[in-house]
Each structure stands twice: as structure tokens, then as C-alpha cells.
Amino acid sequence: MNILKKIQKELKAPKNQRNSFGNYNYRSCEDILEAVKPLLEDAILTLNDEIVHFETSQELKVVELVDGKGKTYTEIIGGDRFYIKATATFKEGDKEISVSAYAREPQNKKGMDEAQITGATSSYARKYALNGLFLIDDTKDADTMDNSKSIQAEAKTSNIEDLKTEADKCQTIDDLKKFYAKHKGLGKDFDNHIALLAKKLGK
């Protein structure tokens, strides 16, 4: 696939986007597509999405696990996961190659409705499918290098403490399950707090 090899060598997709909050530059899926179109010649590039459902447990469960050092800890498991699987397909003559990438839809994202969340997740997955197809190295990309980590960590810690206080107000195990379903994914400390509350309410 001569055209693909040429694109992999010549493609330039600079990080023209700016995240002012995180203070970093990054490239988007659209930036990659704009850069690659003039290089396609007679080749065809298509992008497709599909929703992939990973079923875990329908109910929230509190389980006791043992780590590699033999120490017991509490974990909360349960809830389904939905991912966007993006596939970039490059067709040159009678040959084609496809590369896929996954991105998970968050439960919610501030300032976005459900359609916008899905769109943003699709764009993210497509970007990394294109990265794989065209050998674009994003190891130092903005998505993984946030210069405001200390500020965000402090805000996150404060938010988690507030949510713990809210969780303490749950009167029944069902209320606690509903509360956790809205706020899961905040880390082991928060999960352990919920697990202890679940034990108390379950008695």
C-alpha cells in the first residue's frame, strides 16, 4: 500500500488547538483529517462508529478482595459500560486495512448534554484510530499532559469530601445505590467510603 506508506512518512498534523485551562496544545480528529485529505490521492479513508456494550453486573455489589501483598480491601463492582468503538479504514485499490480504538462515554460531563457527550467520545476514539493507522505519536499529547494537575487534584479532593457528606445522608441501601450510580468512578477512597456505608445500611 504505497499511498499509505507515503502518508505515514509525510503526514504533518500539528497541535493547533489550545486548551487554555490546562495550558497545553493538542490536535483533534478534525486536524488529522484536514491534514490527510490532500495526501489521499486515489485511496479512500472511511470512519465508522459503533456502540459496544460490556455487561458486568446489573446490581451494585460490595466485595472483599485481596491485593498482591495479602491485604484485604473493599471494592464496589457493578454497572454496565458503554464504549464507542471507532474504526478507521484505509482502502487502496483492492487492499484495505482497518484500525480501531475505544473510548468510554462518561456518565456525565459538565456543560454537555447526552448527544454532545457521545459526539465528543466519538471524536476522541476516531482520533486514536487515525493515530494508529497513520503512525501518529501522541504520547506527549495534551490528552495525557495536563499542567494544571495540582489545581484539579485539589478541586477533586474537595468535591469528593462533599460527596461523602452527601452519601452519609442516605437512609436506605437503595438510596445509596442510586447515589453511587451517579457519582461512581471517583477513586478507591470514595468507593471504600460507600462500601462502609453500604455495610451499615445493610444490617
Q: Which residues, other chains included, contact 31 with Cβ-Cβ below 8 Å and sequence gap of 6+?
A: 13, 14, 15, 16, 17
- At which residue does the C-alpha cell 477512597 appear? 189
- In the chain, where are the structural domains located? 2-136, 148-203
Helix then strand then coil, % of the chain, to nearest 5: 40, 25, 35
Q: Are the CB atoms for 159 and 77 separated by under 8 Å?
A: no
Asked if residues 88 and 129 have their Cβ atoms less than 8 Å apart, the reply is yes
**Does the predicted model carry a pTM greater than 0.85?**
no
Contact 134, 11 (CB under 8 A): yes
Per-residue pLDDT of the chain in tens (203 residues, 90 and over written 9)? 899 999 999 998 888 887 776 677 888 899 999 999 999 999 999 999 998 877 665 566 666 666 666 677 665 555 567 788 999 999 999 999 999 998 876 655 555 566 777 788 899 899 999 999 999 876 544 454 444 444 344 434 546 777 888 888 888 888 888 888 877 777 777 777 888 888 887 64
